Amino acid sequence: MSDNIYKPYLMEIENIIEETSDVKTFRLKFKNTDEAGRFAFKAGQFGEYSVFGEGESTFCIASAPTRKEYIECTFRKAGRVTNALAKLEIGDTVGFRGPYGNTFPIDEWEGKNLLYIAGGIALPPMRCVIWNTLDLRDRYNDITIIYGARTVGDLVYKHELKDWEERPDVKLITTVDPGGQTPDWKGEIGFVPTVLEKVAPSSANAIAILCGPPIMIKFTMPVLKKLGFQDKDIFTTLENRMKCGFGKCGRCNVGKVFVCKDGPVFTYEQIVAMPEEY
Amino acid sequence: METTKKLIRKKSLEKLYAALSMSRKVYAPVVADDNRVEYKYNPEFSAITFDHIQSTLSVKNLVFPKVENLIYFTNHKTESSVTEVDVSRIPEVVLWGAHPCDAAAYDVLRSIFCWDTKDQFFSKRLEKLTVIGLACHQSDDYCFCTSVGLAPDSAKGSDILLSRLKSGDYQAEILTEKGNAVAGLSPGLFEAMPDEGVLTADVKARFDYREVTKKLTGAFKHPFWVANSLRCIGCGACAYVCPTCACFDIQDETRGLNGRRYRSWDSCGFGLFTLHTSGHNPREVQSQRWRQRIMHKFSYMPDRNESLGCVGCGRCSRGCPVDMNIAEQLTALQTI
């Protein structure tokens, strides 16, 4: 075992899914089976993914820890590394370091109703915990997922949305922004906060998990409050630029809080106590 | 280990230096052509200065080089591979004549690099480093070690601390096993210490760092940050010369299929430092970045790393092209 905390695992791309025109999901398998056997993570954690020669990029592990044979990540082509990642093919090698960060406290959620609310490319950081709780389905009460994107084309995990829609033990509501619908669209039309207000899930014995662009969070929070959710029962993830992943490189801190060590999972109660630096 | 105080004569220092240079790399301060003081590997003993107030750059590069290779790789599609950097090849180094602020800075760096997870590159370099400190017998207006809990004769971080005597000879305080090993190379050079006082610079305390830390807790939104950073041009010189600034970048560099991943010094003063790919930047203006610099050193680090991120060397103020003076600002912060 290497003492080098910067040394990545070598991963083989086992499968690639084109989620949208600029979003892809990779299924990654450890090239070294010993490393695969030792590797363990929990829902909410993230890693540093690299294309050798281009650099590293930070994103969550999007697959569930209950599925041990592989990890998955979903990314949008945006910067240098993600553009290079997007050019890779099945069988190619990428680097991966991790897991880093804290986790969703899913053990504490046992017996509760879970309300997942995600917008756009923010479903991937939530997909891990969604699948984790679905794979342990009998531990939780009602599970509701509200997922919105700008257009139908921007919805990620379309194949899974179909599965979730068909499952009797999941209530899935999908929505697209007005004008983003196609003629055959059967979901909701409207912004996530409006749809949440309409669906109006009860806050009794419930936990809300919210991930999305800042503008969506800003307008969804008041609706959650109106529904009676307490700050301590609302979870979200923060994302700040990172290089190391273990509290040394100096980038991701929000005040004295390191997103990479203390996060990325925070309750809204913790977020309101932070300075606005995220 | 019990520390001992010995006398070492000026002329014996040259012999000690020669003995050390036989077996190790020795990093010592010399006066460069433009009168700036810089540290060099194995300079002639006659070129070494014992009278400098401060070198332009700190000596953090001995444990945290400007550029450090983290891995080597070959990028070849399905057959890419990673090769380790061999840290066993990191050489033994003796740092000769480090002032107490610089010696103390190694502990501060350790509190970052070995916090939570241990950074093997830093740890190995520190393990191979022996510090022969040199207490300050003079200072300038930029020095403020006594305001941050240190002193011109602090022994913290040194393995041997040399202090000048009136006679021009030195007191050698042997502080650690590493220091003992160095002294053991030429035991005959260390004599019994006479009852003679050492020369120590008089550095007046200008503020109390504990008061600053207390004040910073509620100061995030204070207008102080904007008012006191208007001049800042975000050049990053302060971080570059700072002995405790440890923020770094990680980048890849390739030639053909082969390459390296390295880390390099970075600065929270740069606008790109925290810029997200989306274009969003949590610290988008200079005042937020200046606040981060002060907060990190005087509030977040005491809280998270149990260390203060400043040793009072004054380099950032000496080197600032727009004359921002950190000691003045910290003094002002006490009373906001």
Q: HSE on the CB side for B79, CA within 13 Å?
A: 3
Nearest C-alpha in B relative to A82: B277
The strand pair at B67-74 and B37-41 is best described as unpaired
B260 contacts in A (CB within 8 Å)?
Answer: none
A3 contacts in B (CB within 8 Å)?
Answer: 118, 120
Sequence-distant (6+) residues with CB within 8 A of B104 are: B150, B154, B156, B157, B311
pLDDT surpassing 90 at residue A150 = yes
Tell me which DSSP letter residue B79 carries.
G
Between A78, A249, A278, which is nearest B248 by CB?
A249
Categorize the per-residue pLDDT at A67 as very low, low, confident or very high, splitting at 50, 70 and 90: confident
CA–CA min distance B277, chain A (Å): 6
| pTM score of the predicted model | 0.94
Contact (Cβ atoms closer than 8 angstroms) between residue A13 and residue A91: yes
Tokens of A202: 């009860």
> How many angstroms separate the CA atoms of B260 and B237, rounded?
26
Q: Which of B14, B3, B10, B131 is nearest to B63 (CA)?
A: B131
Sequence-distant (6+) residues with CB within 8 A of A205 are: A111, A112, A113, A141
C-alpha B226 chain-centroid distance = 28
pLDDT in tens, A213-241: 888 998 999 999 999 999 999 999 999 99
Q: Which of B22, B19, B61, B20 is nearest to B40 (CA)?
A: B61
Tell me which DSSP letter residue B192 carries.
E
A263 contacts in B (CB within 8 Å)?
Answer: none
Its ipTM equals 0.93
**Are B296 and A4 a contacting pair at CB < 8 A?**
no
Cβ burial A171-206 (10 Å sphere, 16+ → b, else e): bbbbbbbeebbeeeeebbebbbbbbbbebebebeeb
- Based on its alpha-carbon atoms, the radius of gyration of chain B, rounded to whole angstroms, reads 21
A14 contacts in B (CB within 8 Å)?
Answer: none
Q: Which of B262, B259, B266 is nearest to B70 (CA)?
A: B262
Between B82, B268, B273, which is nearest A8 by CB?
B82
Q: Which of B123, B100, B94 is nearest to B182 (CA)?
A: B94
The answer to whether residue A93 neighbours chain B at the CB level (below 8 Å) is yes
**Are A52 and B268 a contacting pair at CB < 8 A?**
no
Tokens of B161: 């601390």
A89 contacts in B (CB within 8 Å)?
Answer: 77
**Are A82 and B117 a contacting pair at CB < 8 A?**
no
The strand pair at A113-119 and B37-41 is best described as unpaired
Q: Where are the domains of chain B?
A: 4-333
Q: What angle do CA B98, B104, B106 make, to 5 degrees?
A: 90
Average pLDDT over residues A81-88: 97
Neighbour count for residue B230 (Cβ, 10 Å): 11
> How many angstroms separate the CA atoms of B210 and B222, rounded?
19
Between A79, A91, A251, which is nearest B78 by CB?
A91
A278 contacts in B (CB within 8 Å)?
Answer: 282
**Are A278 and B300 a contacting pair at CB < 8 A?**
no
The CA-atom distances, in angstroms, between B335 and each of A275, B145, B215, B221, B330 are 22, 20, 8, 15, 9
CA–CA min distance A94, chain B (Å): 8
pLDDT surpassing 70 at residue A1 = no
Sequence-distant (6+) residues with CB within 8 A of A115 are: A144, A146, A201, A206, A207, A208, A209
> How many angstroms separate the CA atoms of A56 and A78, rounded?
13
CA–CA min distance A64, chain B (Å): 25
Q: Provide the residue-wise pLDDT of chain B in tens; the chain has 336 residues.
A: 788 999 999 999 999 999 999 989 999 999 998 889 999 999 999 999 999 999 999 999 999 999 999 999 999 889 999 999 999 999 999 999 999 999 999 999 999 999 989 999 999 999 999 999 999 999 999 999 999 999 999 999 999 999 999 999 999 999 999 999 999 989 999 999 988 889 999 999 999 999 999 999 999 999 999 999 999 999 999 999 999 999 999 999 999 999 999 999 999 999 999 999 989 999 999 999 999 999 999 999 999 999 999 999 999 999 999 999 999 999 999 998
Per the prediction, chain A carries an average pLDDT of 95
The answer to whether residue A92 neighbours chain B at the CB level (below 8 Å) is yes
Residue with tokens 């979730």, as numbered in its chain? A164
**A56 beta partners:** A50
Q: Which of B72, B111, B113, B261 to mutate to test the interface with A (most CBs of A within 10 A)?
A: B261
A261 contacts in B (CB within 8 Å)?
Answer: 116
Superfamily holding A9-100: Translation factors (2.40.30.10)
Collapsing DSSP states into helix, strand and coil, what is residue A258? strand
Tokens of B135: 């207490």
Between B118, B263, B274, which is nearest A240 by CB?
B274
Nearest C-alpha in B relative to A246: B117
A113-237 under CATH 3.40.50.80, yes or no: yes
CB pairs A-B closer than 8 Å: 131
Q: Where are the domains of chain A?
A: 9-100, 113-237
Tell me which DSSP letter residue A166 carries.
H
Between A56, A214, A261, which is nearest B116 by CB?
A261
Helix (H) or strand (E) holding A265: strand A265-267
**Are A251 and B273 a contacting pair at CB < 8 A?**
yes
Q: What angle do CA B69, A58, A116 make, to 5 degrees?
A: 160
Q: Which of A35, A49, A52, A102 to mutate to test the interface with B (most CBs of B within 10 A)?
A: A52
**Are B277 and A79 a contacting pair at CB < 8 A?**
yes
DSSP calls for A77-146: S-SHHHHHHHT--TT-EEEEEEEES----TTTTTTSEEEEEEEGGGSHHHHHHHHHHHHTGGGSS-EEEE
Q: What are phi and psi of A271, to 5 degrees?
A: -65, -45
